[in-house]
A = this chain, B = another copy of it.
Amino acid sequence: MLVLITYDVQTYTENGKKRLRKVAKKCEEYGVRVQNSVFECIVDSAQLKQLEIALEEIIDSSVDSLRYYRLGKNHETKVKHIGAKPAIKVDKPLIF
């Protein structure tokens, strides 16, 4: 299924910047960056759980925010992109 992950990480501090880099790096293991703070991941439930656990270990939940949107399997018709950075095909096999 396609899962969209969006995040806001507070980057006022060096630690915050480090968290932001770590969140992005972790998401890159599971999917494709489509905007600065938006990743699209093709994952099964087990992979999603793994990713959730990893991200929750990285963020500071008192100031950072993570959102997950499950778009299911027939997601091609549900996504529309306008402007720069055209959508990257996310159905290619994931490399871990």
B61 touches A70 (CB 8 A): no
A84 touches B61 (CB 8 A): yes
A80 CB-CB contact with B under 8 Å? yes
B65 touches A84 (CB 8 A): yes
Q: Nearest residue in B to A35 (C-beta to C-beta)?
A: B8
Q: Mark A63-80, 1 if CB is under 8 A from B, else 0.
A: 111111111100001111
Q: A81–B56 Cα gap in the complex (Å)?
A: 11
B35 touches A65 (CB 8 A): yes
Shortest distance between the CB of A73 and any CB in chain B (Å) = 13
A sample of 13 inter-chain contacts (CB < 8 A) reads A10-B84, A35-B37, A35-B67, A61-B83, A61-B84, A63-B84, A65-B84, A65-B85, A66-B81, A67-B80, A68-B82, A69-B71, A71-B78
